[in-house]
């Protein structure tokens, strides 16, 4: 059974899509194997490893963030790699980004270490299966979109160098899902201090992350927090991912405690 939060996120995502991105996403939302992979990833992350949410709600929030980022850039005339290279359209890029966003943490079903690479192994046949439905007569497009989606998954931790703007989107979208709701379940389940708690409590202090059109650059990210412990999330998670992203030159980043002047990072 899907939670009300998952269903609401799915509906919000689908309303924003058309074309191949819509077809792909509808298929992935209806895939029972994907559903169980996302749920078990959360079991391993929260119950076994004491990390924060890496399950279906998180992956769908990353999908929603990815759509926001790509739409803001596209509306300002930004060209993603498939379009620049003449091998695809904006919609094809969005399809690849959503495939990666909605599957990027399924490697957590195995464990935290190398979960991005383990996730690629698990995701590859799933992506291929759905792309055959989305592009039934275009093998070249199936290969291109699948390969790009796997690059996005490989690079989402910021530890492997990426080369496409599409992969840069997933890095930023993943890093931006750090609002307090992401840490609620592990904090409720684990009262005693354990390794990894800094991720939970720093995330719990993040009140709002706003993704919008920038004033000086193309994209702005503004983070509001209730306590200074939230700067851990900014400096050790989000800023690390922005530094590794191909989109870094186009980003403004500000963060601060509510009621105080925000700190500008970029």
34-38, 46-50, 172-176, range with the lowest pLDDT: 46-50
For the residues 151-156, what does the mean pLDDT come to?
97
**The Cα angle at residue 66 between residues 83 and 204, in degrees rounded to 5:** 160
Res. 19 pLDDT band, cuts 50 70 90: very high
- 229 exposure class (CB count in 10 Å sphere: 0-12, 13-18, 19+): middle
DSSP secondary structure letters along 196-225: THHHHHHHHTEEEEEEEE-SSSSEEEEEEE
pLDDT interval class at 186 (50, 70, 90) = very low
Confidence check: pLDDT of 184 > 70: no
In this prediction, residue 188 has a pLDDT band, given cuts at 50, 70 and 90, of very low
pLDDT higher than threshold 80 for residue 182 = no
The string over 132-143, giving b where at least 16 C-beta atoms fall within 10 Å of a residue's C-beta and e elsewhere, is eebbeeeeebbe
Q: Does residue 203 surpass a pLDDT of 70?
A: no
For the cut 70, the answer to whether the pLDDT of residue 108 exceeds it is: yes
What residues contact 171, with CB distance under 8 A and at least 6 apart? Answer: 155, 156, 158, 162, 241, 242, 244, 245, 247
Q: What is the pLDDT of residues 59-77, one digit of tens each?
A: 999 999 999 999 999 999 9
CA atoms of 166 and 77, how far apart (whole Å): 15
Gap between the Cα atoms of 52 and 206, Å rounded: 13
What pLDDT score does 116 carry? Answer: 95
Confidence of residue 205 (pLDDT cuts 50, 70, 90): confident
What strands, in cross-sheet order, belong to the sheet with 251-257? 206-213, 219-225, 251-257, 263-264
pLDDT recorded at residue 54: 87
Higher-confidence position of 163 and 231 = 163
CB 234 within 8 Å of CB 227 = no
């Amino acid at each position: 059974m899907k939670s009300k939060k998952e269903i609401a996120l799915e509906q919000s995502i689908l309303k924003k899509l058309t074309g191949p991105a819509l077809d792909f996403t509808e298929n992935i939302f209806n895939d029972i194997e994907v559903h169980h992979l996302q749920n078990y990833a959360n079991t391993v992350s929260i119950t076994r490893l004491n990390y924060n949410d890496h399950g279906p709600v998180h992956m769908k929030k990353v999908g929603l963030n990815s759509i926001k980022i790509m739409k803001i850039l596209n509306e300002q005339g930004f060209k993603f790699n498939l379009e620049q290279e003449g091998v695809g359209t904006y919609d094809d890029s969005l399809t690849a980004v959503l495939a990666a966003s909605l599957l990027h943490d399924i490697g957590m079903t195995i464990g935290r270490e190398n979960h991005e690479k383990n996730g690629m192994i698990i995701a590859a046949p799933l992506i291929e299966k759905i792309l055959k439905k989305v592009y039934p007569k275009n093998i070249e497009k199936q290969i291109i979109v699948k390969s790009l989606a796997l690059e996005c998954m490989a690079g989402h931790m910021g530890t492997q160098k990426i080369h496409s703007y599409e992969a840069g989107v997933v890095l930023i979208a993943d890093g931006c899902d750090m609002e307090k709701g992401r840490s609620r379940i592990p904090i409720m389940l684990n009262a005693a201090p354990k390794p990894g708690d800094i991720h939970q409590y720093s995330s719990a202090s993040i009140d709002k992350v706003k993704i919008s059109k920038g004033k000086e650059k193309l994209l702005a990210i503004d983070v509001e927090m209730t306590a200074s412990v939230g700067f851990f999330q900014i400096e050790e998670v989000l800023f690390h991912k922005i530094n590794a992203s191909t989109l870094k030159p186009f980003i403004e980043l500000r963060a601060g405690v509510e009621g105080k002047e925000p700190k500008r990072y970029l």
